[in-house]
């Protein structure tokens, strides 16, 4: 696995030894960034953005954002094994000053509101494919006002997922790559 764009393009990332963490594939990540940067459906600039990477795992999405000059990324991950790999990746890429790692359950953390900033331009959610709490997560993000006006939420789900989202969550685009479904939305 590697960084696919920006100033750190080509840098390799450490991967977890166990299979509990499912890193976002390079092709899916590249497609997400191509859409964010070039689609006429979005008006999004990664440079200088504040990013929230939920279920961060090894951090490939947030690290890609930092490579593309995001201001800061808050990585949230519950697994201690994944956190260790994430910390190694952040140190290897010399991004310590632009990253915050929070080792906590996402739902508890959002309720506690323990982020280094109060609002984010982009929130990336990559829960385990078997996870069924997506609507609760969207509700918490909305109710706690974590997304900037015109901010984007990107969900990474299994392609067979048929969740019905809350009416206030506007799905802008949806793409399938292999076994992944990528949903772009906003409030």
Distance separating alpha carbons of residues 178 and 164, to the nearest angstrom: 21
Which domain does 157 fall in, by range? 26-180
The structure's pTM equals 0.91
Residue 107, both tokens:
């739902």
Q: How many structural domains comprise the chain?
A: 1
pLDDT score of 134: 86
pLDDT score of 130: 75
pLDDT at 144 over 70: yes
- Kindly state whether residue 19 falls inside one of the protein's structural domains: no
- Kindly state whether residue 21 falls inside one of the protein's structural domains: no
pLDDT at 179 over 80: yes
- Kindly state whether residue 168 falls inside one of the protein's structural domains: yes
Distance separating alpha carbons of residues 72 and 175, to the nearest angstrom: 26
The 3-state secondary structure of 98-136 reads: HEEEEECCHHHHHHHCCCCCCCEEEEEECCCCCCCCHHH
pLDDT tier for residue 169 given thresholds of 50, 70 and 90: very high
pLDDT tier for residue 51 given thresholds of 50, 70 and 90: very high
pLDDT score of 7: 95
Task: Name the nearest CA neighbour of 24 among 182, 169, 184, 139.
Answer: 182
pLDDT at 61 over 80: yes
Which run of H or E residues covers position 183? strand 180-186
Q: What SS3 class is residue 88?
A: helix
pLDDT score of 117: 66
Pairing of strands 147-158, 180-186: antiparallel
pLDDT tier for residue 22 given thresholds of 50, 70 and 90: low
Residue with the two structure tokens 């030894």: 17
- Kindly state whether residue 6 falls inside one of the protein's structural domains: no
CATH of the domain at 30: 3.40.50.150
pLDDT score of 39: 85
- Kindly state whether residue 72 falls inside one of the protein's structural domains: yes
Distance separating alpha carbons of residues 83 and 103, to the nearest angstrom: 7
pLDDT at 82 over 70: yes
- Kindly state whether residue 8 falls inside one of the protein's structural domains: no
pLDDT tier for residue 138 given thresholds of 50, 70 and 90: very high
Task: Name the nearest CA neighbour of 85 among 142, 1, 4.
Answer: 1
- Kindly state whether residue 11 falls inside one of the protein's structural domains: no
The answer for 171, left when phi > 0, alpha when psi is -120 to 50, beta otherwise, is: beta
- Kindly state whether residue 155 falls inside one of the protein's structural domains: yes
């Amino acid at each position: 696995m590697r960084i696919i764009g920006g100033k750190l393009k080509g840098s390799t990332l450490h991967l977890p030894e166990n299979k509990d963490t499912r890193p976002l594939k390079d092709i899916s990540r590249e497609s997400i960034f191509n859409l964010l940067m070039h689609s006429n459906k979005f008006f999004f600039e990664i440079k200088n953005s504040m990013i929230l990477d939920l279920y961060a795992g090894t951090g490939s999405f947030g690290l890609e954002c930092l490579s593309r000059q995001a201001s800061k990324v808050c990585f949230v991950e519950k697994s201690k094994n994944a956190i260790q790999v994430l910390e190694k990746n952040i140190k290897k890429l010399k991004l310590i000053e632009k990253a915050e790692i929070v080792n906590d359950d996402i739902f508890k953390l959002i309720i506690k509101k323990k982020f280094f900033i109060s609002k984010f331009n982009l929130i990336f959610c990559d829960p385990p494919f078997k996870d069924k709490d997506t609507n609760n997560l969207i509700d918490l993000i909305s109710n706690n006002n974590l997304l900037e006006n015109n901010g984007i939420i990107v969900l990474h789900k299994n392609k067979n997922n048929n969740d019905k989202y809350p009416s206030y969550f506007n799905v802008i685009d949806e793409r399938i790559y292999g076994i992944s479904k990528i949903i772009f939305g906003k409030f």
